[in-house]
Amino acid sequence: MRKLIGITAVTVLSSLFVIGCSNTTPPTTSGTGTSVMTQGDDFSKHLKVDNPKLALKLNIDNVKSRKTNGLLEINLQLASTFKKSLKLQYHFNWFDAQGFVVESRKTPWKPVELHGFQSTTLRGLAPNEQVASFNVYVREIPEKAYKY
């Protein structure tokens, strides 16, 4: 009886070990795969802000990516940690698997306004199938540019 319990315990533990070590990559069906970055991931590597003061007022979170018909599609949350409104522009930079820029300066700047502590979803679609990674470049619109 003890031998049967021991064999059963070893079998169950072995099965759990194999399941725990299995690949957890989301399945890909019909050319569409999904990847969700978790809370512990370092999202800052995807945010590019050249103005140090502005960089302290922004962060990104909830970055999601998927391949749609071979093109990388991105959704991410841009959040303000500042109490006043920010008038911003953003665009996505796209990189191939070796880290080289793909179709530089082809993505237009898009305006976005964040009110105090507000967040918004930014969406981007890669220009071609060679894109493997991205970053989002955010800059502040100078006040003199929108005041008459």
- Cα–Cα distance measured from residue 89 to residue 27, given in angstroms and rounded to the nearest whole number: 35
pLDDT (tens place) for every residue of the chain, 148 residues total: 555 454 544 444 444 444 444 433 333 323 333 344 444 467 889 999 999 999 999 999 999 999 999 999 999 999 999 999 999 999 999 999 999 999 877 778 999 999 999 999 999 999 999 999 999 999 999 877 666 5
Q: Which CATH number fits domain 32-146: 2.40.160.10, 2.60.260.20, 1.10.1040.10, 2.60.40.3230?
A: 2.60.40.3230
pLDDT at position 20, please? 45
39-49 burial code (b ≥16 CB/10 A, e <16): eeeeeeebbeb
CB 64 within 8 A of CB 75: yes
**In whole angstroms, what is the distance from residue 105 CA to residue 128 CA?**
14
